[in-house]
Amino acid sequence: MIDRTHGYFQREKETMSKRRREAYLKQKLSEILRYGYRHSKAIRSWLDGAGIKPEKIKDLKDLERLPITKKTDLVTAQKQTPPFGGFAIVPKKGVRRIYFSPGPVFEPGAWDYEDIRWVQALFACGIRKGDVVLNTFNYHLTPLAFMLDESLKKLRASVVPVGPGNLSMQIQLMRQLHVTGFLGTPSFLMSLVEAAERMSLDPQKDLSLKVAFVGAEMFPESLRQRLEGKLGILIGQVYGTVDVGCLGYECPEKTGMHVPEDVIVEIVDTATGKQLEVGATGEIVATTFSKIFPMIRFATGDLSYLIENPCPCGRTSPRLGKILGRTDQVTKVWGIFIHPWQVDEVMAKFSEVANYQIVVTRKEYRDEMTVYLELRKDVTDQMDLRRRVEREMEEILKVKGEVVFTGKGGIPDRAKKIDDRRIWE
Ligand SMILES: [Zn+2]
Tell how far the Cα of 307 is from the centroid of ligand 1, in angstroms: 11
Query: How many A from CA of 128 to the centre of ligand 1?
Result: 17
What distance in angstroms lies between residue 270's CA and the mean position of ligand 1's atoms? 28
CA 354–ligand 1 middle distance (angstroms) = 26
Measured in Å, residue 23 CA sits from the centre of ligand 1 at: 21
Per-residue pLDDT at 328:
74
Residue 249: name the closest of 239, 264, 263 by CA: 239
CB-based contact 41:86 (threshold 8 Å): yes
Cα 257 to averaged position of ligand 1 atoms, centre (Å): 8
How far does residue 24's CA lie from ligand 1's centre (Å)?
20
| pLDDT surpasses 60 at 425 | no
Cβ contact 214:189 at 8 Å: yes
Residue 337: per-residue pLDDT:
74
State in Å: Cα 181 to ligand 1 middle.
Answer: 20
303 CA → ligand 1 middle, Å: 21
Ligand 1 centre to CA of 317 (Å) is 8
pTM of structure = 0.82
**Chain mean pLDDT for the chain:** 91
The confidence band for 132, taking pLDDT boundaries of 50, 70 and 90, is: very high
CA distance 307 to 279: 6
Spatial separation of the C-alpha atoms in residues 101 and 142, rounded to whole Å: 5
Task: Report how far residue 118's alpha carbon sits from residue 15's, in angstroms, rounded to the nearest whole number.
Answer: 17
Integer Cα distance of 392 and 56 in angstroms: 46
**124 Cα to the center of ligand 1, angstroms:** 8
pLDDT for 49-107, tens place per residue?
A: 999 999 999 999 999 999 999 999 999 999 999 999 999 999 999 999 999 988 889 99
Using one digit for the tens of pLDDT, what is the confidence trace for 190-218? 999 999 999 999 999 999 999 999 998 87
Return the higher-pLDDT residue of 363 and 313: 313
How many angstroms is it from 313 CA to the middle of ligand 1?
A: 4
| Ligand 1 center–CA 235 separation, angstroms | 14
d(CA 149, CA 161): 8
Cα(158) to centroid(ligand 1), Å: 26
Coil/strand/helix, residue 405 = strand
